Amino acid sequence: MPAEQQTGSVRHAIWSLAGKFPGGAVGRLRHQAAFGSTSGMDVAMQHTIMVARLPETVGYVPMLCVRPAELMSSLYYWGGDQRPRDSQRFESTELDRRYIVEIAKAQGQNWLWQLFSPALIDWIAHETPADFGFKLETGVFTCECPQWRGQGRADGEVNTEQLDLLTKCSGVVASRIRDEVLEEVGTGSASSPTARRPTSTGSQGPSTGG
């Protein structure tokens, strides 16, 4: 509903921009704003996330959540989900130090170890913003950098450099997930996404540097 037709002291507005992200994934930037006043206090909040639909992943990963270890999950747009989950660790000291990786209970690990190639692990561990996080659930990929909330300029306008950063980071991960699933389907191994962890981490896969 348009903001001018909403009732109440705080109103909401949403804009979105769809297109192809770095790496080739198709998604949209969704910018949300809340403004007005409540309990005598002014409200002026903005929030930008990246959303992409990856229906190919539904049979491979029921849920995958990656967020910084030092930030509460409630900071994120997709925070607050109380669904039971298991922690997932990889053979990377820096990744395990910076990030909490969670998956659905009893979820198979074989595909995860293929997805998190050494190249992707290195990129996430060393080249992502301090507040970078993403979630994939039932084919919907959501990514954000919540600390800046899309409003880094003094005049309240969206900081385009921050949007470029979000666009690049979200595009790299969404494209890597999509490409891995399509590769699995193409090689005929799509029937075994729930297998347990293999004895090796799999192939390097395509570069994730941008």
Closest CA to 126 of 102, 94, 89: 94
The alpha carbon of residue 40 and the mean position of all alpha carbons in its chain are separated, in whole angstroms, by 35
Closest CA to 116 of 170, 182, 56, 176: 176
Q: Would you state the structure tokens that stand for residue 6, as one six-digit string?
A: 């909403």
23 and 7 Cβ atoms separated by less than 8 Å: no
For residue 132, the SS3 value is coil
Domain chopping of the chain, boundaries: 51-186
Give pLDDT, residue 172: 92
Please work out, in degrees rounded to the nearest 5, the angle formed at the alpha carbon of residue 69 by the alpha carbons of 139 and 57. Answer: 15
180 and 116 Cβ atoms separated by less than 8 Å: no
Q: Would you state the structure tokens that stand for residue 52, as one six-digit string?
A: 């992409």
The region that residue 40 occupies, defined by phi over 0 for left and psi between -120 and 50 for alpha, beta otherwise, is left
Helix, strand, coil content of the chain in percent (nearest 5):
30, 30, 45
Q: Cα(61)–Cα(137) distance, rounded to whole angstroms?
A: 8
For residue 153, the SS3 value is coil
129: number of Cβ within 10 Å: 14
Mean pLDDT, the chain cut into blocks of 10 residues (210 residues total): 72 86 92 79 79 89 88 76 82 90 82 83 90 92 77 66 88 91 66 38 36
Residue with tokens 């053979």: 91
Q: Would you state the structure tokens that stand for residue 101, as one six-digit string?
A: 């990786």
210: number of Cβ within 10 Å: 11
Residue with tokens 């190249």: 119
Give pLDDT, residue 15: 84
Q: How far, CA to CA in Å, does 92 sit from each of 12, 64, 89, 210?
A: 42, 18, 8, 21
